[in-house]
Amino acid sequence: KKKLGLWRQVARLAPFIKERRGIMAAMIVCGLAGSAADVAMPLFERYALDVFVTEGDLSSVLPFAAAYALTVFFTGGVNFIACYLAMKVELGTNRDLRNAAFRRLQELSVEFFSLNSAGRLHSRVMSDTSKIGSLVSWSLMDCVWHASYILGAAASMFALYPALAAAVCVVVPLTALVFSLFQKKLVSVNRELREINSDLTSRSSEMITGVRTVKALAVEKKLFAAFSDTAERMRRRGIHAERLRGLFSASLSFASSLALAVVLWRGGILAKEQLGTFTAFMSYAQGLLEPVRWVIDAISDLITTCVNIERVMDLIDEEPLVRDTPEIVERYGDVFKPKKENWESFVGDVELRDVTFSYPGAAETVLEHFDLKIPYGSTVAVVGETGAGKSTLVNLICRFYEPTEGLLLIDGRDARERSTAWLRSNIGYVQQTPHLFSGTVRENLNYGCEDEKQDSELWDALELVGASEIVSRLDGGLDAAVGEGGEKLSSGEKQLLCLAAAVLSDPKILILDEATAEVDTLSEKRLQQAIKKVTAGRTSVIIAHRLSTVTDADEILVISGGKLAERGSHEKLLAENGIYAELLKIQNADDLTDAALRAAGGDCK
Ligand code: ADP
C-alpha cells in the first residue's frame, strides 16, 4: 500500500473535524484572545513604572487598576473556556473515531480478523484514536496560542525598541534549533519506550491467558527470564529518557537566561531612562522561550501522530470482503439500520450452484464446481476428513466469503440480491468453540432474540437440548454468571448453552459446526434426540466428526477433494460401501477401543 504524506494523512481526518468545526474555531479564537492578553501584560507593567514611578503621576491609578484587573479576569476566563473547549473537542473526536473504528470492525469480514491480531486492533481502537483526539484539541490550541504569543511579543518589542528587539529575537531561532534537536531524540526515545512497554504488556498478558499451558510445560523460568530482560531494558531506557528530559529543561532555562542576559547587557542603559520599557523587555525575554518549546512540541506531535492517523484511518477505510451494494443497502438497510419492512419473508431453501472457491490470496482451490441443494426443512449432514472443506461450505452459506465462481442461492435467488443482514438474522450458527459473553446464563440465552424471553421458555429450550440439569445445578440457575468467555463452564456445557440460545432465536437455517463434539459421549443417545428436536421444522446443516450423531439426517454429504463424493441416507451410503462406510468403520473401531478401556477402568481420553 502506498504511504501518504503528512498533510494527506491529516486530510483524512476531515470528516471528523468537519463534524465539530464550530467548536474548534471557538477554541482557536480563545487561543488567540488568550495570547493577546498575555502579550498585553508586560505593557501594563511598563505603563505603571513609567507613569506612576518615573513621572510620579498617580491620577490614572484607578482606571489602570480596573483595566488591569479586567485583563487578569479575562485571561483566566479565556483560559478556562479554551481548556473546556479543547477537552470537548478531544473527547468528542475520541468517541467518534472509536465508534467509526468499532463499527467498521463489525462490518469487516472474518477474513480480516484472521490477518490482524486482536492486540493490534485493540490498540487502534483505543490508544491510536486518543492520540489523534489530543492532536486536534490540545496540540492545535497550544500551537495557535503560543505561536501567536511569539509573534505578538516580537511585534510589541519591535514597536517599543527595535534595536533591542532584534538582539532578543536572535536568541529565539537559535534556541528553536537546539530544541528541535532535543525533540528528535526525545521522540525516538519515547517511541522506543512505548514499544518496550507494549512488549512487556503482551508478555504478561500472554502468560495470564496461557497460564495452563505455561504450567503444564513448566516454562516459567524461560518466560521469567524474557520478562525480566524486557523489564530491565525498560529501566535502562527509562533512565536515559529522563536524563534527556532533564537536559532539555536545563537547556530551556539556560536559553531563557541567555535572552535575559542579552536584555541586561544591551538594554541596561534603558533602565535609567525608560524603566518601564526595560521591564517589559525583561518580561518578554523571560517568557518567550517556553512558547517556542510548546510550538515545537505541537509540531512534533503532529509528525508522530501521523502514524496513528494512518492506523486508525486505514481501519476505518478498510473495505469489507463481503459487502452489500449501495442499491441493496438503500432497499434493505444495513446491520445497523435494517429496513425490515422491505425484507422478504424467509423460507430456507439453500443452493450452491457450480461453486468454485479458494480463500483470498490462497492458491489452493477448496471447492471445485460444487453443486448442492438443501431444500427447506431438511437436515443435511456434512462429513469428510479434516481440511476437506466442511467449514468452508458453512462460511459460504453464511456469506462470510463469496464464491470465487458460481452462485449461492437462497430461496431460489442469488444471495447478493438481498442483504447479508437479512440472511444472517435467519441463520443460527453454533460452532465447535462456541463463545459465551461474560454475563449470566439468561443474558447469553437471550442474546440472539428480538425480545426478552420468559423464564419458562428458557427452561423449555434448555430441556430440549438436555442442558436444564446443568443450569439448575449452577449456583444462581439462570442468573449464574458464566465468567469471561464462559470460562466457568466446561466446553461441552458451553456448546449445549449455545445450542439452546440458537433454538431460542428460532432461525430458519440452523448450522451446527462440530457443535456437539465436546459433549460427553455418554449422553450421545440424548444428544441424538436433542439434535432431532432442534432441527425439526428448519433447514439444518450439521457438520459432525462423530458420525453417530448424523445417522438420522435426511441426507449425508461426503466431501472429498473439494467435491461432493457421496450423498444419500445413512443406509444408502452404508450399502454403497464407499468413503462413508470406511469412515464409520474406523470410528466404530475407535469407539470399541474406548469402551474396552473404560470397562477396564483406564482413561479413555
Ligand atoms: P474442514 O472444516 O473440512 O476441516 P475447512 O473448510 O476448514 O476444512 O478447510 C478447507 C481448506 O481450506 C483447508 O485446506 C484449510 O487449510 C483451508 N482454509 C481454511 N480456512 C482458510 C482461510 N481463512 N484462509 C486460507 N485457507 C483456509
- Taking residues 46-57, what's their average pLDDT? 90
Residue nearest to atom 25 of ligand 1 (CA): 359
Percent of the chain with pLDDT over 90: 38
Mind spelling out the 3-state secondary structure of 1-35?
Answer: CCCCCHHHHHHCCHHHHHHCHHHHHHHHHHHHHHH
The CA 364 to ligand 1 mean position distance, Å, reads 10
Global pTM exceeds 0.75? yes
Residue nearest to atom 7 of ligand 1 (CA): 391
The CA 393 to ligand 1 mean position distance, Å, reads 10
pLDDT tens track for 574-585:
898 888 888 888
Helix axes 140-160, 162-209, angle to 10 degrees: 170
pLDDT of residue 296: 84
Q: Which atom of ligand 1 is nearest to the CA of 513?
A: 2
Residue nearest to atom 24 of ligand 1 (CA): 359
- Taking residues 495-516, what's their average pLDDT? 87
Q: Which atom of ligand 1 is nearest to the CA of 386?
A: 4
Residue nearest to atom 15 of ligand 1 (CA): 387
Residue 302 and residue 10 in contact, taking contact as beta carbons nearer than 8 Å: yes
Mind spelling out the 3-state secondary structure of 151-172?
Answer: HHHHHHHHHHCHHHHHHHHHHH
CA distances from residue 262 to 112, 257, 538 in whole angstroms, order as listed: 61, 9, 89
Q: Is the pLDDT of residue 516 over 50?
A: yes
Q: Is the pLDDT of residue 97 over 70?
A: yes
The CA 198 to ligand 1 mean position distance, Å, reads 32
pLDDT of residue 207: 87
Q: Is 2 exposed, middle or buried (0-12, 13-18, 19+ CB in 10 A)?
A: exposed
Residue 348 and residue 332 in contact, taking contact as beta carbons nearer than 8 Å: no
Q: Is the pLDDT of residue 209 over 90?
A: no
The CA 392 to ligand 1 mean position distance, Å, reads 6
Q: Is the pLDDT of residue 523 over 80?
A: no
The SS3 call for residue 140 is helix
- Report CA 305 to chain centroid distance, whole Å: 17
> Of the candidates 564, 446, 423, which has an alpha carbon nearest to the alpha carbon of residue 497?
446
Element (H, E) at 427: strand 427-430
Query: What whole-number distance in Å separates Cα of residue 587 and Cα of residue 267?
Result: 99
Residue 500 and residue 464 in contact, taking contact as beta carbons nearer than 8 Å: yes
pLDDT band at 524; cut points 50, 70, 90 = low
CA distances from residue 400 to 107, 122, 272, 393, 405 in whole angstroms, order as listed: 11, 22, 83, 10, 15
The CA 109 to ligand 1 mean position distance, Å, reads 16
The CA 121 to ligand 1 mean position distance, Å, reads 24
Sheet with strand 350-357: strands edge to edge: 367-374, 350-357, 405-410, 413-414
CA distances from residue 605 to 546, 548, 594 in whole angstroms, order as listed: 15, 18, 8
Residue nearest to atom 14 of ligand 1 (CA): 387
Most ligand 1 atoms within 8 A of CB, residue of 115, 365, 392 to mutate: 392
First to last CA, the chain: 49
| DSSP for 205-253, written as a single string | HHHHHTHHHHHHHT-HHHHHHHHHHHHHHHHHHHHHHHHHHHHHHHHHH
Which amino acid is residue 409, in one-letter code?
Answer: L
Q: Which atom of ligand 1 is nearest to the CA of 388?
A: 3
3-state helix, strand, coil in the chain (%, to 5): 65, 10, 25
Query: What whole-number distance in Å separates Cα of residue 215 and Cα of residue 222?
Result: 12
pLDDT of residue 603: 46
The CA 382 to ligand 1 mean position distance, Å, reads 15
pLDDT of residue 605: 38
pLDDT tens track for 52-81:
988 888 899 999 999 999 999 999 999 999
The CA 181 to ligand 1 mean position distance, Å, reads 52
Q: Is 93 exposed, middle or buried (0-12, 13-18, 19+ CB in 10 A)?
A: buried
Question: Which residues does residue 189 pair with via DSSP β-bridges, in sequence order?
Answer: none
Q: Is the pLDDT of residue 522 over 60?
A: no
Mind spelling out the 3-state secondary structure of 87-139?
Answer: HHHHHHHHHHHHHHHHHHHHHCCHHHHHHCCHHHHHHHHHHHHHHHHHHHHHH
- Mean pLDDT highest for which of 138-142, 459-463, 467-471? 138-142
The CA 333 to ligand 1 mean position distance, Å, reads 31
CA distances from residue 82 to 29, 85, 149 in whole angstroms, order as listed: 9, 5, 15
The CA 359 to ligand 1 mean position distance, Å, reads 8
Q: Which atom of ligand 1 is nearest to the CA of 543?
A: 2
Residue nearest to atom 26 of ligand 1 (CA): 359
Residue 420 and residue 334 in contact, taking contact as beta carbons nearer than 8 Å: no
pLDDT-wise least confident of 150-159, 196-205, 535-544: 196-205
pLDDT band at 604; cut points 50, 70, 90 = very low
Residue 12 and residue 5 in contact, taking contact as beta carbons nearer than 8 Å: no
The CA 401 to ligand 1 mean position distance, Å, reads 12
pLDDT band at 586; cut points 50, 70, 90 = confident
Residue nearest to atom 22 of ligand 1 (CA): 359
How high is the mean pLDDT of the chain?
87
Residue nearest to atom 19 of ligand 1 (CA): 392
**Which has more pLDDT, 316 or 546?**
316
The CA 373 to ligand 1 mean position distance, Å, reads 22
Q: Is the pLDDT of residue 202 over 90?
A: no
> Of the candidates 492, 488, 497, 493, which has an alpha carbon nearest to the alpha carbon of residue 444?
497
Residue 356 and residue 403 in contact, taking contact as beta carbons nearer than 8 Å: yes
Most ligand 1 atoms within 8 A of CB, residue of 113, 355, 366, 559 to mutate: 366
> Of the candidates 211, 241, 567, which has an alpha carbon nearest to the alpha carbon of residue 373?
567
pLDDT band at 464; cut points 50, 70, 90 = confident
CA distances from residue 213 to 159, 238, 413, 517, 582 in whole angstroms, order as listed: 74, 32, 48, 22, 36
pLDDT of residue 251: 84
- Taking residues 407-434, what's their average pLDDT? 90
pLDDT of residue 451: 82
| Residues within a 6 A CB radius of ligand 1 | 114, 359, 362, 366, 384, 386-392
